[in-house]
A and B are shown apart, each in its own frame.
Chain A
Amino acid sequence: MTRAETPQSFQEIILRLQTYWAGKGCAVLQPYDMEVGAGTFHPATTLRALGGNPWAAAYVQPSRRPTDGRYGENPNRLQHYYQYQVLIKPSPPDLQELYLGSLDAIGIDTEIHDIRFVEDDWESPTLGAWGLGWEVWCDGMEVSQFTYFQQVGGHDCHPVSGELTYGLERLAMYVLDVDHVMDMPFNDPSAPIPLTYGDVFRQTEEEYARWNFDTADTAVLLDHFEEAERHCAEILARPAEDPKTGKRIVMAHPAYDQCIKASHIFNLLDARGVISVTERQAYIGRVRALAKACADAFVETRAGGWQGDAA
């Protein structure tokens, strides 16, 4: 195999991953249009990991972790960052090799780097999900999470999905050899208007850090949380048959949007420091209940493998 040239920018790394996984047969999706804490929350992962239908998707997902905001000053921490996510069901036998191929595609030469698969069991209490796998180390640095989903939303995964998550900023900083995320070239440094990551995101990191930590109206957020929770339940309580069209339409995705909303609002409340240690568990349990209800609904849809009227 000819070794890939070292990429020059953050976006080139993303583009190469897109091209690579498209070449391996994945549907290259776009980010989900809601605020999520991680790429796993995208329904293309959470819901599609359920049921018996095969699936192969890759996408970038902007992710928000309000508590990680550092006003753009910390070299590694951001409240908004990008994850690259791959989900293939059933997990192919050569998923490790496919993954290593993607490292090669972005210029990590496995002939001179030390790549290791180090035990890391993944668990998402808010999604009622867990899996076994590794964090992948490149020269001692974690560059990806590699997980075989065993359960999502309380349902056993059958077949099992293989999930790859790349922390794009950290990976790119390593490949591009930069020490501060804000100094990383976002587009080609030789472009007429070269932009760094800082040019694109320093402003928003500052603004959101202030908003997340000190300004977000907690009373409003608490209301929104309750609303989303209620709304989710109401959507799922509707009968499967749509009275207007007479079709069977289980609204798993609209309900799941409310679950995503509740989860993000919980993260915001957490960043505002208004959730005590004991309440925390209770909130996580409430979001998990929503995720489970949505998973229950999704497996009742055709995309989720429902074949009720096929026979």
Chain B
Amino acid sequence: MPDLLIELFSEEIPARMQRRAADDLKARVTDGLVEAGLTYAGAVAHCTPRRLALSVQGLSGESPTTTEERKGPRVDAPEKALEGFLRSTGLAKDDLTIADDKKGQVYMARITRAGRPALAIVAEVLEGVIRNFPWPKSMRWGAGSLRWVRPLRSILCILTREDGAEVVALDVDGIVAGDTTEGHRFMAPGRFAVTSFDDYEAKLKRAKVVLSSEERAEAIWQDATNQAFAAGLEVVEDAGLLAEVAGLVEWPVVLMGEIGADFLGLPPEVLQTSMKEHQKFFSVRDKTGAIVRFVTVANRETADDGATILDGNNRVLSARLADAKFFWENDLRVAKAGMETWTEALANVTFHAKLGSQAERIERIAALARELAPAVGADPDLAERAARLAKADLSSEMVYEFPELQGLMGRYYAEAAGEDPAVARAAEEHYSPLGPSDNVPTAPVSVAVALADKLDTLAGFWAIDEKPTGSKDPYALRRAALGVIRLVLENQFEGSMIEMLRLAAAKAFSADMLTSVRYIFDANEDMDIAPFEQAFSEPSGWKDEELAVRYESAIADYSSYGSSPAEYVLQRGRSLHDPDGTVADLLTFFHDRLKQHLRSEDVRHDVIDAVLTGDRTDDLANVTARARALNGFLGTEDGENLIQGYKRAKNILDQAEAADGVEYSYGADPKLAETDEERALFAALAPATPAIEAALAAEDYPAAMAALAGLRAPIDAFFEAVQINADNAILRRNRLNLLSEIVRLCQGIADLGRISA
């Protein structure tokens, strides 16, 4: 069984694409080989910055010969039919046999496909793979039309048998496959031939190329941690950076350098971000957590043991850190002066043309945070202050340079300004949670600002009708809604979503109106904007009936200008009279996100639907508690059966009520119970009813479900033995009233009719 070795040698492949490309090479080549009838024992793919390599062990030497019997036309069919059959089978008339068929005698062809040698199959498969390789981005070069991630320079493709290696004959647009490759670009230039994978890997190592990216990463990490350890320090772990750096070198050489004393006062995150983003350096910290050195990975050994390389890297880093230090010091000056320059600057930053500036948005968030504060247990003054400062760092030079440090710098600057620790903390935490795995803030002030920030975003884009559609969600509104949901659930914050949304929507509408009005006034300079600005700067301005009337009449005047902004404002003005519609629509959006969220907890789809039908659906914590309890209950045998009993009761009751035109909700009388089963059910209901009602009232849904579970057996027995529609009208009515009570008890938690059997 021969082994196959393939190497596709190119100019430098982007680090982030290497691993995936090696996996694709393996999958596509082995799939192709198998499809062509070959088998193999195992396959391993490797990547370096300049090559993708694939080793396939134990490949079959040829594909098996196959034969196929194919039925042709009848013997007496027209000549044309026979000609067509011969053409399609590639046989002559003499090759055919004649066989008996139901319809008479027919020609039979026996088509034999000879097995093909692996050499031919490999050539065909590899060419197809090269020509259709799924690079995220590919290019052409020179005068050719072949596409690869960067120019493809050579192809090594050999089959190794015990008696030696054979080159697979392959020519892809002038690149002829051979048995040679190159080593390290600088340390071992020149081509050499290989005879097998082991030979290839060993010769590459001699030519200063470590083939395995895992081995390179491991070597880098080992060497870096050893050097740090020797100096009493520790490398800051960063798996992503390690993988990237391993993809930038073929012969890793770890060099550790010092960070200039001038820069040691910078926050560790700033040092780390600057070094990682710009230079792909690892950070090295001391026992106190301060970052004091860096590790860089060079791609070669040098006669001076990397001294020149380290010196150069040091110089580049110093220039970078000098920038960072300059930003930091300038920023600290502004922070200590109260950050007003920054908050004022946000007045000139447009958040959205229809929703005003960042400064105006911050006003809304501050007001909202204050209003939400009591409900989340935060001090209203602190919440408002925190909201005012939370985004100040967006104007700082550091965040301009490193946007990923937003929030974190806000915390540093708020601390430097002597703000309350809760305010500083909120500056960092209010963006959270950003994704499903991000931590949810729990500090009350942070929670208030985080909620206000997200609710304002949602209400704002709803007010101007820029909701997400399909896969388009440019303002990440789904993420914002999920953030609100997680903030509410993980802080067990019970309260009306509608109330919160109303507060946010009121402010968003005002903002929308204000910007619209300004837009008109910009176009008509002689008009007096002051009363409007005053009216709509008040977050609740739009509620004022008189203002709304004045507003509409003014708009009517302006619309005589025939300008479309006036038309727009007029329409928006009218929509002010239906903010409830917007809030209801937003709540539906929250429900959809909640469904998604709970589905990730394996809460059944129909359970969520059942819980969301009925009252109190705007209390997300309550909805979730009910859904979880019901979902747990349905997972038990009692739960499953009780649902059947409920459905049966509900069906009989609905039919009877429809037929009789009455509601059977008068309560059932135990004295009218006739059978043992009926009496038993009454007996079970007597303690269960108050227990369930009390549990529901206390919102202890698991307890309510447990009490309900106790009714399963009596209900089952009741249906088994008792005929509801008895001839005796009094008995019948009593039994229907009994069913009505059961239905009512069951529906206390959710509309169980929505649960699928």
Contacts and interface: CB of A to CB of B under 8 A. Distances in A.
Contacts of A148: 139-141, 150-151
A140 B296 contact: yes
Contacts of B299: 114-116
Contacts of B311: 139
Interface string B264-289: 00000000000000010100000000
B150 A111 contact: no
B53 interface: no
Contacts of B302: 111-112, 114
Interface centre among A91, A114, A132 (most CB of B within 10 A): A114
B5 to A, nearest CB: 24
A150 B309 contact: no
Nearest to A150: B139
A141 B143 contact: no
Contact of B312 (A75, A139, A160, A179): A139
Given A131-B139, A140-B279, A278 B353 contact: yes
Given A110-B186, A113-B312, A140-B313, A75 B153 contact: no
A213 interface: no
A119 B145 CA distance: 22
Of B137, B140, B299, which is in contact with the most chain A CB atoms at under 10 Å from its CB? B140
B752 to A, nearest CB: 52
Contacts of A92: 142
A162 B145 CA distance: 15
Given A119-B15, A139-B316, A112 B309 contact: yes
Interface in A103-139: 110-119, 121, 131-134, 138-139
| Residue among A75, A118, A157 with the highest chain B CB neighbour number at 10 A | A118
A90 interface: yes
A52 B151 CA distance: 19
Contacts of B153: 93
Contact of B316 (A75, A141, A162): A141
B588 interface: no
Nearest to A119: B14
B525 interface: no
Interface in B123-143: 137, 139-143
A150 B186 CA distance: 28
A277 B350 contact: yes
A174 interface: yes
Given A90-B142, A139-B312, A75 B12 contact: no
A157 B145 CA distance: 11
A159 interface: yes
A23 to B, nearest CB: 21
Contacts, number: 99
B308 A139 contact: yes
A113 B310 CA distance: 9
B700 to A, nearest CB: 53
Nearest to B49: A117
Contacts of A179: 315
B150 A112 contact: no
A134 B14 CA distance: 9
A76 interface: yes
B298 interface: yes
Nearest to A277: B350
B16 interface: yes
Contacts of B15: 118-119
Interface residues of B, number: 41
B296 A160 contact: no
A116 B142 contact: no
Interface string B327-357: 0000000000000000000000010010000
Interface in B474-523: none
B319 A75 contact: yes
Given A139-B316, A277-B350, A118 B296 contact: no
Contacts of B145: 158
B150 A132 contact: yes
Contacts of A278: 350, 353
B381 interface: no
B312 A140 contact: yes
Nearest to B297: A114
A276 interface: yes
A118 B248 contact: yes
Contacts of A139: 308-309, 311-313, 316
Contact of B12 (A112, A113, A134): A134
Given A112-B308, A117-B12, A159 B350 contact: no
B292 to A, nearest CB: 19
Contacts of A140: 279, 281, 296, 312-313, 316-317
B139 A160 contact: yes
A51 B74 CA distance: 60
B473 interface: no
Interface string B288-328: 00000000101110111000110111011101000000000
Interface in B99-141: 137, 139-141
Contact of A160 (B14, B16, B142): B142
A117 B298 contact: no
B580 interface: no
Contacts of A96: 11
A76 B318 CA distance: 12
Contacts of B150: 132-133, 148
A168 to B, nearest CB: 17
B561 to A, nearest CB: 23
Contacts of B304: 112
A277 B49 CA distance: 38
Contact of A116 (B140, B143, B248, B303): B248
A96 to B, nearest CB: 6
B144 to A, nearest CB: 8
A159 B143 contact: yes
Given A113-B308, A140-B316, A93 B137 contact: no
Nearest to B140: A160
Contacts of A91: 141-142, 151
Contacts of A138: 312
Contacts of B139: 131-132, 148, 150, 160
B137 A159 contact: no
A112 B309 CA distance: 7
Given A93-B153, A112-B304, A132-B150, A160 B141 contact: yes
Nearest to A88: B142
A158 to B, nearest CB: 8
A276 B140 contact: no
A96 B14 CA distance: 16
B252 to A, nearest CB: 11
A150 B140 contact: yes
A174 B140 contact: no
Contacts of A93: 142, 151, 153
B311 to A, nearest CB: 8
A138 B140 CA distance: 26
A117 B309 contact: no
A268 B222 CA distance: 51
B141 A121 contact: no
Contact of B11 (A75, A117, A159, A160): A117
Contacts of A114: 298-300, 302, 309, 312
Interface of B: 11-12, 14-16, 49, 137, 139-145, 149-151, 153, 186, 248-249, 279, 281, 296, 298-300, 302-304, 308-309, 311-313, 315-317, 319, 350, 353
Interface of A: 75-76, 90-93, 96, 110-119, 121, 131-134, 138-141, 148, 150, 157-160, 162, 174, 179, 276-278
Given A93-B153, A119-B12, A160-B142, 19 more contacts: A76-B319, A92-B142, A93-B142, A112-B303, A113-B309, A114-B298, A114-B300, A114-B312, A117-B11, A131-B139, A132-B137, A132-B150, A133-B150, A139-B311, A140-B281, A140-B296, A141-B316, A159-B143, A179-B315
5 contacts: A111-B186, A118-B248, A140-B312, A140-B316, A160-B141
Top 10 nearest A-B pairs by Cβ distance? A139-B312, A119-B14, A117-B12, A159-B143, A140-B313, A114-B298, A90-B143, A90-B142, A132-B139, A141-B316
